[in-house]
Structure 1
Amino acid sequence: MSTSDLFTRGSAAYRRLMIAVFLVGIAIFLMMYNTQGLLPQIAATYGSSETDASWTVSATTLGMAIGFIPLSTIALRRGYFVKMTAFLLAATTVGLLVPFAPTLGWLIAGRFTQGFLISAVPAAALALIAHRVDPIAVVDATGIYLAGNTIGGLLSRVLTGLLTDVADWQVGLFVMSVICLVCGVLLLFLRPRPQPGTGGPIVVPGADTRMRQAAADSLRTPGVWVWCATGALLMCCFAAAYTALGVRVQQAPFNLSAGQAGAIFLLYVIGTIATARTRVVVSRYGARRTVLGAIALLVVGFALTLSGSLLVILVGVAIITGAFFVGHTTASSSVSLLAPPHARSTASALYLTAYYVGSSIGSTGSTTLFVHAGWLAVVIGAIVALAIAAGLHLHALRAAVPAPARRHVTVS
């Protein structure tokens, strides 16, 4: 594909695509984490522990991690936008049924199925950005998608919490699925027209073979696996903070309701702001120094959450949120930009697989640590993970490989 075939910033097709990936970003997180602040209520409904209930979060992200690679091959066969829309609507259909699960096991199974189906959606969205957007606009386009993630994440926690206070958690989950359905229907009207000369959607024959080769080529590319590991470790810590915190603040001495606990997720707005500013920071300091700065801020944020003051805890969570999204945006865009052109969608799928494995470990792992050992154990676990991530990049800085001249983002 030539440069003239790409969607360029300011074009009508680019604007339609950005609206679409923004809505997709919202819908994904509306589905993924809407049980995160409801673990005490879910546990009470099914007579289980908060640790068992945390699998309603981890099963979803685990399903996503398992689905990314195989479902990415379907993207290459069918076209990215069509696949993105179809799988979003399929996952939404499951989501409409999940609130009526008769047992916790069925609820977890439904959440896993949702995660598996929706794994195709971010993989397709990021592949669209990597393959069809002008490289100069890749970081901005990725930021728009991730901004949708932050808004979806915010709405899923806040609205489900409020609806749980007013009605119950099942109503909250059902309403989230209805909103996702609206997003999916809007996608049907937002499909960008092909650029002159593209001949329509990309359809690649021999997808399985190409996928295996692309995965191997991606992992052989210097830096790709480091950024994938970084995404996993950062997400592990971020999921730990919000999942275990949702349980912590609904217990003594805070005793917040589900709606009040959900309001904490309004701090996700900070993630939207941080995502939008990431390109400027990366352009000035380089990706590795940017992510090391984000890691340092994450450590500060976790340290503040050890306080017994709710206000200080919220300041800590605000720092964690902003720092995480800077780190995640940097890592995600670096993987896409470092990967060979023919392997960018696969590299994005590898990154997201690692990222959501980290989320699964962080969600249930942090809840288990909190229930059995308290909040200090959660903080120690997060700092250990952050130290590993920092070590990877400090080592890479000492043996830095210059980014190819054609890349817009500095990754050294």
Structure 2
Amino acid sequence: MAYIKKGTKAFRKTTLAMFFGGFNTFAIMYSTQPLLPEFSREFHISPAVASLSLSLTTIALAISMLFVGSLSEVKGRKPLMNFSLISASILAILTSSVPNYHVLLLFRILQGIVLAGLPAVAMAYLSEEIEPADLGVAMGLYVSGISVGGMSGRIIIGMLTDFFNWRVALGTVGVLSVLASLLFWYLLPPSEHFQPRPFDIGKLTKSMVNQLKDPSLLCLYGIAFFVLGSFVTLYNYIGYQLIAPPYSLSQTLVGFIFVIYIVGTFSSTWMGRRADMHGRNKMLKIGLLIMAFGACLTLTTLIVIKILGIALFTFGFFGSHSIASSWVGRQAIRDKAQASSLYLFFYYAGSSSGGTIGGTFWETLGWGGVISMILSFLLCALLLSIRLNFISPFNQHTKTTLTLQKANC
């Protein structure tokens, strides 16, 4: 069977379906992020405890993805992704009617478990079905759906919380997610290159151990941990700063801060293309440095400069994630689903760890403490990307290819 190539109808349907899938997953996953100050006020809990409504979801998702990728080897890629999106959407609606914070956390854990089906399998599906030369663009469009979902969900949550309450806001996101799930099911072509295999726990364990022996993949996993840990930390606690003096913004205005996510829609695709042209490692380093510069700009008290810093930080994040995630699909020679699952395990483990630890920095050191933690994470990611220069065969192949292309021009 031929691979799906850019410019074909199948490519457009695949990338649009993945766009809706990414939109759905991240609108649900991060729906509680702008509500953290509301939870602190209504349930009388600290910012760090309020952050558990996100951190427990992401850690449940991270653990589930270690097994869901292998389950897709048996059940198929598309059926598992369909189940993931529909069930998570229904749970999102149910979460809006919980009686207390403890039950809310239980529902959020369940959401994390079922949400694992899409991110754990999406990268494997794309790497199997898309023409390798076009994988960077396809992955960039999928990540664009993630950015739009994260942005739209937060804006809707902020506005509806101001006009009604957080329960109406969460229920509305759930209904929109059901619609996005149906579009995903309709548009995504069935797998053509997927070969089902029986579930074997021993083989699964061996496969994961083998992936962890690859030093290049280990670096990419570490980068994923530190990059998302930084990103979630900033967005978890910026709301606390903006609703307090001297800004005193409303939930609606804080929600509209997430319009900045639109730059991620552009950067994920644009940097994915630049990485295909100029080398992944070079563009990855640039993305990390942009994140660090943007984070530093948020230390200013001027709201315009602060928002510019958030925009640059977001641009660098989505570009870096797009590059690193597609790199995993190419670096893994076999058992791509397991490689993707491990990447996303570290990715969301970083979200859970950074997001909650950041609350301690916020409570003790304020915004400067949050930024110092973020810069420490980004330094670790940059050191890992430098290490990739010397150990990644794929990176060396890319450099050789680019050299030959320039020589032939």
Q: The TM-score by the shorter chain falls in which range?
A: over 0.9
Change (3 A) 1:276 1:151: same
Structure 1 residue 263, shift from structure 2 partner: 0.6
1:57 corresponds to which residue?
54
Structure 1 residue 404, shift from structure 2 partner: 7.2
Change (3 A) 1:264 1:128: same
Question: Relative to structure 2, which stretch is displaced further, 389-398 or 152-161?
Answer: 389-398
2:107 corresponds to which residue?
110
Residues 5-44 of structure 1: matches in 2 within 5 Å?
5-44=2-41
Structure 1 residue 218, shift from structure 2 partner: 2.2
1:99 corresponds to which residue?
96
2:334 aligned with 1:337, yes or no? no
Residues 232-381 of structure 1: matches in 2 within 5 Å?
232-340=225-333, 342-381=334-373
| 1:265-297 residue CA offsets vs partner (Å, 9 max, x unmatched) | 000011111011113321344222222222222
Distance, in Å, in 2 between the alignment partners of 1:193 and 1:41 is 42
Distance, in Å, in 1 between the alignment partners of 2:131 and 2:394 is 22
2:82 corresponds to which residue?
85
Distance, in Å, in 2 between the alignment partners of 1:20 and 1:136 is 20
| 1:301-347 residue CA offsets vs partner (Å, 9 max, x unmatched) | 1111111111111011011000111111111111111001x221111
1:387 corresponds to which residue?
379
Structure 1 residue 194, shift from structure 2 partner: 5.7
Whether the 8 Å CA contact 1:136–1:408 is kept in 2: the answer is no
Residue aligned with 1:100, SS: coil
Residues 189-268 of structure 1: matches in 2 within 5 Å?
189-193=186-190, 195=192, 202-268=195-261
Structure 1 residue 220, shift from structure 2 partner: 2.6
Change (3 A) 1:284 1:133: closer
Matched letter for residue 261 of structure 2:
Y
Distance, in Å, in 1 between the alignment partners of 2:391 and 2:142 is 32
| 1:221-258 residue CA offsets vs partner (Å, 9 max, x unmatched) | 34111011101101111111111101111111111111
| 1:55-111 residue CA offsets vs partner (Å, 9 max, x unmatched) | 111111111111101111211111100100011111112111111111111111111
Distance, in Å, in 2 between the alignment partners of 1:404 and 1:384 is 28
Residue aligned with 2:335, SS: helix
Whether the 8 Å CA contact 1:42–1:169 is kept in 2: the answer is no
Question: Relative to structure 2, which stretch is displaced further, 291-300 or 209-218?
Answer: 209-218
| 1:119-147 residue CA offsets vs partner (Å, 9 max, x unmatched) | 11111211110112221121111111100
Whether the 8 Å CA contact 1:130–1:345 is kept in 2: the answer is no
Distance, in Å, in 2 between the alignment partners of 1:50 and 1:371 is 8
Q: Which runs of 5+ in 2 are unaligned?
A: 403-409
Aligned counterpart for 1:396 among listed residues 365, 384, 388: 388
Q: Which runs of 5+ in 1 are unaligned?
A: none
TM-score in terms of structure 2 length: 0.93
Change (3 A) 1:409 1:132: farther
| 1:144-171 residue CA offsets vs partner (Å, 9 max, x unmatched) | 1100000000001111000011101111
Structure 1 residue 204, shift from structure 2 partner: 1.6
Question: Relative to structure 2, which stretch is displaced further, 391-400 or 140-149?
Answer: 391-400
- RMSD (CA atoms): 2.0
Whether the 8 Å CA contact 1:80–1:202 is kept in 2: the answer is no
Matched letter for residue 67 of structure 2:
P
Distance, in Å, in 1 between the alignment partners of 2:255 and 2:339 is 34
| 1:319-377 residue CA offsets vs partner (Å, 9 max, x unmatched) | 1000111111111111111001x221111111111000111122222222112220111
Give the count of matched residue pairs.
402
Distance, in Å, in 2 between the alignment partners of 1:151 and 1:165 is 21
Matched letter for residue 374 of structure 1:
G
1 or 2, which has the higher helix percentage?
2
| 1:166-214 residue CA offsets vs partner (Å, 9 max, x unmatched) | 101111111001111111122332242565xx6xx64222453443333
Residue aligned with 1:38, SS: helix
Change (3 A) 1:209 1:308: same
Question: Relative to structure 2, which stretch is displaced further, 203-212 or 272-281?
Answer: 203-212
Structure 1 residue 399, shift from structure 2 partner: 5.4
Distance, in Å, in 1 between the alignment partners of 2:112 and 2:343 is 16
| 1:27-53 residue CA offsets vs partner (Å, 9 max, x unmatched) | 001101111111111222222222211
| 1:367-405 residue CA offsets vs partner (Å, 9 max, x unmatched) | 221122201111111111111111122233355645475
Distance, in Å, in 1 between the alignment partners of 2:316 and 2:397 is 28
Whether the 8 Å CA contact 2:136–2:273 is kept in 1: the answer is no
Change (3 A) 1:345 1:400: closer
Residues 48-197 of structure 1: matches in 2 within 5 Å?
48-193=45-190, 195=192
Residue aligned with 2:96, SS: helix
Whether the 8 Å CA contact 2:267–2:318 is kept in 1: the answer is yes
TM-score in terms of structure 1 length: 0.92
Structure 1 residue 406, shift from structure 2 partner: 9.0
